[in-house]
């Protein structure tokens, strides 16, 4: 049984991860550390495990095999490096770090320690994305031209996100650094190598960070990717649109419509394809990788993590540097 320590409950997904570990049959939560002592102690009490106030003390424990990092994003570098040096396997919430330079420091620590590393990219394992990737690779879209991915919610306009979510010193950004990660890590998975990026980020409700964000990316071969996200949209449906010279896919909340002229196997009209089963959750893939002695699950490794930060970092730079005022 893998013994897991939860490192912080800052991130809104932390509690779900802990519950999933305890339901997995492969691992159990054995301890909690949190930069907020009161929050961590309360959570550890509910989980029925030790709260350890000192991170170094927790990482020195022989009964801890792995950690799940849900600290503020800006703390990831230091926490993960310290964890890797202690020989513990690392699962981290996205984004890995605010800058590529910090990510490279993390990579060195992970490789030097030889531990398993996994970043949480759940959208890559969904039936829609798995089907789309297979069709792209099979040539059913012909020459790919544009991929648009949108997700969002009303966390700001509905006033349900925690106030600390909008502190840039902790979160490193807003909607694009949070929800925007999902389209940002999925676009390269489908489109390949990015060449340039732009961004327009706004905050109509006055938060300290972006509430409404769009990034456009040029990929090799002339493919354009569009990543859209928001904290201020009501009843937003997750949308994926893929356009090519020979095929088109439209997915709304996982309801997929597909049409391709490339092969008779897909018929001549729009239809709902039979989708593959979703891949196991990122937590379960992390635990399976530890058991198998693998360094990372496919598509969820340290280089995948760095690739996302490269897009995010440059999208924020592009937004700051390209605010041309129209008359």
Q: Mind listing the pLDDT tens digit for each residue in 157-204? A: 999 999 999 999 999 999 999 999 999 999 999 999 999 999 999 999
Sign of CA dihedral 118, 166, 312, 100: negative
The pLDDT value given to residue 106: 98
Same domain, 273 and 160: yes
With a pLDDT cut of 90, the percent of the chain lying above it is 94
Distance CA 90, CA 133 (A): 27
How is residue 172 annotated by DSSP? S
Nearest to 307 by CA among 107, 125, 130: 107
Same domain, 171 and 73: no
Domain assignment present for residue 12? The answer is: yes
Mean pLDDT in residue range 5-23: 97
Domain assignment present for residue 310? The answer is: no
Domain assignment present for residue 323? The answer is: no
Domain assignment present for residue 306? The answer is: no
The pLDDT value given to residue 146: 98
Residue whose tokens read 């937003």: 236
Distance CA 21, CA 1 (A): 11
Residue whose tokens read 């379960």: 284
80, 115 Cβ separation under 8 angstroms: no
Same domain, 143 and 226: yes
Domain assignment present for residue 312? The answer is: no
Same domain, 131 and 273: yes
Same domain, 271 and 177: yes
The pLDDT value given to residue 267: 58
The pLDDT value given to residue 262: 78
Token code pair at residue 96: 């890995």
Beta strands 239-244; 144-152: pairing state: antiparallel
The pLDDT value given to residue 322: 80
Domain assignment present for residue 320? The answer is: no
pLDDT greater than 90 at residue 57:
yes
Same domain, 36 and 52: yes
The pLDDT value given to residue 324: 67
Mean pLDDT in residue range 32-39: 98
Q: What are phi and psi of 120, to 5 degrees?
A: -85, 100
Same domain, 21 and 65: yes
The pLDDT value given to residue 271: 87
Residue 326 binned pLDDT confidence (cut-offs 50, 70, 90): low
For the chain, how many structural domains are there in total?
2
Q: What is the pTM of this model?
A: 0.95
CATH code for the domain in which residue 78 is found: 3.40.50.720
56, 155 Cβ separation under 8 angstroms: no
Same domain, 273 and 286: no
Distance CA 18, CA 32 (A): 10
pLDDT greater than 90 at residue 269:
no
Domain assignment present for residue 28? The answer is: yes
Distance CA 56, CA 53 (A): 9
Is 299 strand, coil or helix?
A: coil
215, 198 Cβ separation under 8 angstroms: yes
Same domain, 83 and 133: no
Same domain, 146 and 29: no
pLDDT greater than 60 at residue 266:
no
Same domain, 91 and 135: no
CATH code for the domain in which residue 158 is found: 3.30.360.10
Note down the domain range covering 196: 127-277
Same domain, 151 and 272: yes
With a pLDDT cut of 70, the percent of the chain lying above it is 97
Mean pLDDT over each residue of the chain, to the nearest integer: 96
The pLDDT value given to residue 286: 98
Q: What strands lie across the sheet with 194-202, from one edge to the other? A: 194-202, 212-219, 224-230, 144-152, 239-244, 247-252, 255-260
Lowest mean pLDDT among 62-76, 85-99, 252-266: 252-266
Distance CA 100, CA 30 (A): 32
Distance CA 305, CA 75 (A): 15
21, 27 Cβ separation under 8 angstroms: yes
The pLDDT value given to residue 264: 65
Domain assignment present for residue 201? The answer is: yes
């Amino acid at each position: 049984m893998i013994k897991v320590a939860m490192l912080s409950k800052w991130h809104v997904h932390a509690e779900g991860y802990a519950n999933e570990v305890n339901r997995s049959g492969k691992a159990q939560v054995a301890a909690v550390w949190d930069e907020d002592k009161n929050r961590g102690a309360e959570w550890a009490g509910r989980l029925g495990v030790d709260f350890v106030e000192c991170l170094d003390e927790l990482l020195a424990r022989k009964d801890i095999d792995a950690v799940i990092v849900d600290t503020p994003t800006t703390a990831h570098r230091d926490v993960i490096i310290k964890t890797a040096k202690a020989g513990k396997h690392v699962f981290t919430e996205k984004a890995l770090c605010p800058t590529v330079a910090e990510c490279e420091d993390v990579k060195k620590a992970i490789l030097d320690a030889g531990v398993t590393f996994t970043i949480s990219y759940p959208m890559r394992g969904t039936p829609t994305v798995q089907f789309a990737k297979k069709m792209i690779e099979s040539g059913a879209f012909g020459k790919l031209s544009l991929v648009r991915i949108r997700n969002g919610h009303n966390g700001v306009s509905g006033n349900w996100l925690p106030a600390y979510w909008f502190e840039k010193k902790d979160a490193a950004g807003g909607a694009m650094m949070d929800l925007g990660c999902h389209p940002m890590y999925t676009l390269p998975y489908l489109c390949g190598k990015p060449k340039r990026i732009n961004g327009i980020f706004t905050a109509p409700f006055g938060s300290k960070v972006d509430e409404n964000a769009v990034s456009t990316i040029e990929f090799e071969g002339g493919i354009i990717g569009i990543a859209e996200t928001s904290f201020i949209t009501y009843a937003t449906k997750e949308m994926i649109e893929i356009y090519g010279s020979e095929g088109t896919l439209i997915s709304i909340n996982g309801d997929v419509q597909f049409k391709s002229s490339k092969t008779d196997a897909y018929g001549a009209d729009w239809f709902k394809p039979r989708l593959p089963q979703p891949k196991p959750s990122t937590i379960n893939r992390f635990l399976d990788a530890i058991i198998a002695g693998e360094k990372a699950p496919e598509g969820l490794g340290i280089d995948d993590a760095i690739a996302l930060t490269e897009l995010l970092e440059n999208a924020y730079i592009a937004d700051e540097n390209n605010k041309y005022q129209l008359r």
